[in-house]
């Protein structure tokens, strides 16, 4: 049975220190690099996010080996089930493609609905042996890495679907006999995530050339080093939204730096529009709410789509009719995040109107109910984006509180530290 969380907040003041888990984005890249380096690279500050724990288990050979399932038809074929971990699905598809191993790579029912054909086609072009076991273009995948032999050194891949496809290829590039040239077609969405990947590879001794839309990584060895993982800026974004909806807010987030590899660190600039100042000192960042009229009307989230739900909910709660662009990838995430936002925002009378690739908030009929139930759609970011509404709505009930374990397991406990009352309810409407 799914258990829900009921949130209340007696006042609109927040003050405290939050120690955030390591970045899931950084950590997942670091773990793949560590595995490819054959022990030369060591990861520090491993995240306790469920997605990262899943990936670590797979790379540590703690995932399931199914030798009895007749449908698999191969004795001792390794069955790797990554559940809802989308990053792990993309990274492991590339990782297993040229390893001396044959696996079935599968996931949750939602994962089986998330397309992966673009990455599979690119890997097949390189010489990988990958078959679909159910529906063409979607997991599960049967990957026979022992048959994979690099056929070419240059491939083209669309840049406006998912930067994780590109990252998956870049992570394995240095281990390929001929290296790899990735030619990016069209616009590159979530560019900071690709830059993060290349920066982490460089820390591990892997050099690259990025000229125009072409990224070239030659075959080369990793060097012995450690990869420290910074606290998660995506998790920090929820504290920025809490500060934005509070009347008074003073928060300290240790370990975060002004010069982060994480693209979501742009939340400092975005939330400055909502009167949230960010002061970096004492090996962390101090957040403070200051009175400031909100005037920014257009938010381009192309480089940071994981912040979309947080920012859109804040604007809706404040009755700010903002316009958003760069949301193209939201429909293929853990859920269709555009539809999920439209459905849940309607509960406070706010419309998110889609016109092509432009999305506009209409807050003209916004109201504040006494209580509201928020469906999460098995999406951790829906739960954490809507939870701050407890600052303006007397009672918020959030479906399936365990969903936050995917990226920020301590979220509900951390809310208690700043005065939120958190009660577990066993019933799902």
DSSP alpha helix (H) spans, 190-298: 191-203, 233-245, 267-272
Q: Which of 306, 378, 400, 414 is catalytic?
A: 306
Residue pair 17/428 in contact (Cβ under 8 Å)? The answer is no
Q: Find, among 42, 13, 16, 12, the residue nearest to 254 by Cα.
A: 16
**How far is the C-alpha of 302 from the C-alpha of 159, rounded, in Å?**
12
DSSP alpha helix (H) spans, 318-386: 337-345, 380-386
306 is catalytic: yes
Residues 6+ apart with CB under 8 A from 13: 246, 247, 248, 249, 419
Q: What residues pair up with 353 in beta bridges, in sequence order?
A: 360
Inter-CA distances, 193 with 26, 29, 74, 197, 393, Å: 9, 10, 37, 6, 35
**How far is the C-alpha of 131 from the C-alpha of 133, rounded, in Å?**
6
Residues 6+ apart with CB under 8 A from 57: 63
Residues 6+ apart with CB under 8 A from 174: 36, 201, 206, 217, 218, 219, 220, 221, 222
CA 407 to chain centre: 8
**How far is the C-alpha of 273 from the C-alpha of 309, rounded, in Å?**
17
**How far is the C-alpha of 389 from the C-alpha of 349, rounded, in Å?**
14
Residues acting as catalytic residues: 306
């Amino acid at each position: 049975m799914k258990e829900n969380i009921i949130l209340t907040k007696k006042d609109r003041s927040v003050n405290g220190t939050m120690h955030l888990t390591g970045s899931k984005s950084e950590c997942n890249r670091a773990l793949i690099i560590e595995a490819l380096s054959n022990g030369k690279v060591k990861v520090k500050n491993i995240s306790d996010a469920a997605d990262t724990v899943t990936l670590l288990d797979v790379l540590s050979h703690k995932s399931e080996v199914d030798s009895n399932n007749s449908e698999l038809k191969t004795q001792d074929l390794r069955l790797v089930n990554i559940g809802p971990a989308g990053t792990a699905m993309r990274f492991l598809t590339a990782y297993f493609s040229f390893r001396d191993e044959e696996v079935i790579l599968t996931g949750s029912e939602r994962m089986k609905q998330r397309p992966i054909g673009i990455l599979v086609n690119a890997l097949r072009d390189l010489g990988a042996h990958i078959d679909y076991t159910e529906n063409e273009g979607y997991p599960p995948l049967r990957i026979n890495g022992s048959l994979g032999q690099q056929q070419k050194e240059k491939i083209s891949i669309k840049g406006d679907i998912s930067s994780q496809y590109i990252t998956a290829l870049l992570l394995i590039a240095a281990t390929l006999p001929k290296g790899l040239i990735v030619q990016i077609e069209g616009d590159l969405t979530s560019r900071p995530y690709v830059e993060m990947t290349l920066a982490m590879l460089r820390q591990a001794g892997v050099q690259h050339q990025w000229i125009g839309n072409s990224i070239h990584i030659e075959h080369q060895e990793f060097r012995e080093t450690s990869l420290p993982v910074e606290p998660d800026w995506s998790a920090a974004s929820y504290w920025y939204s809490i500060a934005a909806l509070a009347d008074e807010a003073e928060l300290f987030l240790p370990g975060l730096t002004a010069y982060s590899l994480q693209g979501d660190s742009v939340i400092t600039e975005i939330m400055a529009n909502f009167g949230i100042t960010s002061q970096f000192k004492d090996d962390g960042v101090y957040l403070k709410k200051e009175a400031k009229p909100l005037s920014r009307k257009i938010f381009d989230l192309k480089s940071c789509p994981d912040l979309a739900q947080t920012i859109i909910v804040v604007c809706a709660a404040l009755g700010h009719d903002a316009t958003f662009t760069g949301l193209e990838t939201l429909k293929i995430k853990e859920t269709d995040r555009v539809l999920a936002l439209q459905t849940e925002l309607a509960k406070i009378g706010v419309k998110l109107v889609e016109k092509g690739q432009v999305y506009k908030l209409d807050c003209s009929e916004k109201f504040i109910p006494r209580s509201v139930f928020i469906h999460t759609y098995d999406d951790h970011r829906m739960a954490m984006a809507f939870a701050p509404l407890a600052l303006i709505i007397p009672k918020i009930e959030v479906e399936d509180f365990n969903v936050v374990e995917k990226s920020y397991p301590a979220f509900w406990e951390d809310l208690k530290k700043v005065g939120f009352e958190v009660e577990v309810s066993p019933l799902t409407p």
